[in-house]
Amino acid sequence: MIQKKRQPIVSLIILVLLAIACRFQVPSFLSQQATEISIPPVLTKIAATLPVIQTIPAVIPTIPVPLQTPIFGEGGEVRQWAILAEASSQYGSMDWSAFQAIGEPNTQECGDNVSAWASATSAGKDWLRLYYAIPVVPTEINIHQSYNPGQIVKVDIQDLEGKTTTVYEAEPKVLDQCPFVLSIPVNVETLVMQVTVYVDQSESAWWNEIDAVELVGESGIPGLE
């Protein structure tokens, strides 16, 4: 694996708000940093309306990064990148870690880059789980793959009640096009804040690295349209 500068981890402000909404203890470092920044009213509203999601991991990075707010379109459409992530395994504690899949894409070229998530080994079956700030009725999931794309075999979403629905299944293969965005249309009538991506690299023995995962849907929070 090659070396390259690290990707910013996640939006500091959204993490603090999410931690408050989910009743997690905010580390003192984050609390001090948060007092120095003006919180946009829309994020305050989001924090006030988020449900308590017990499945969100109580692990909050203590690294300040630029604010990345969701994009609100016409008709209540929301386009957002993950604010938290975890994985069944990861190649490094920071480089190639699950946190590299947080935020918008920043791996511009196809290749083995530290700014994307990679599993611990290149010949196994693994999963990457992403969490989002705003609950939406999902319409699309866009998975940005930056190395050996095509080995995603399943994508699940989980609603606010904990029900899991599979929205994509396929056989593993390595695509010639790289980087590659797997766009998955979603048609469910439930609020979602969690996406899990499964990869099967057992046949190719090559890492399928994921740079970012975008969740698109209709806002489930009144007044955000």
> What is the predicted pLDDT for the residue at 71?
82
| Token pair listed for 84 | 């938290």
> What is the predicted pLDDT for the residue at 201?
97
12-38 burial, b for 16+ CB within 10 Å, e for fewer?
bbbbbbbbbbbebebeeebeebbeeee
Residue range 116-130, pLDDT digits in tens: 999 999 999 999 999
Cis check: omega of the bond before 61, within 30 degrees of 0: no
> What is the predicted pLDDT for the residue at 21?
43
> What is the predicted pLDDT for the residue at 87?
97
Q: Quick one: DSSP state of residue 117?
A: B
CA–CA dist 17, 45 (Å, integer): 10
CB contact set of 222 (below 8 Å; sequence gap of 6+): none
Is residue 183 exposed (0-12), middle (13-18) or buried (19+ Cβ within 10 Å)?
Answer: exposed
> What is the predicted pLDDT for the residue at 120?
97
> What is the predicted pLDDT for the residue at 142?
98
CATH architecture, domain 12-219: Sandwich (2.60)
> What is the predicted pLDDT for the residue at 72?
80
Low-confidence residues in the chain, pLDDT < 70: 1-69, 220-225
CA–CA dist 101, 178 (Å, integer): 17
Domain ranges of the chain: 12-219
Question: Which residue in 224, 225, 215, 197 sits closest to 50, CA to CA?
Answer: 224
3-state helix, strand, coil in the chain (%, to 5): 15, 35, 50
> What is the predicted pLDDT for the residue at 11?
38
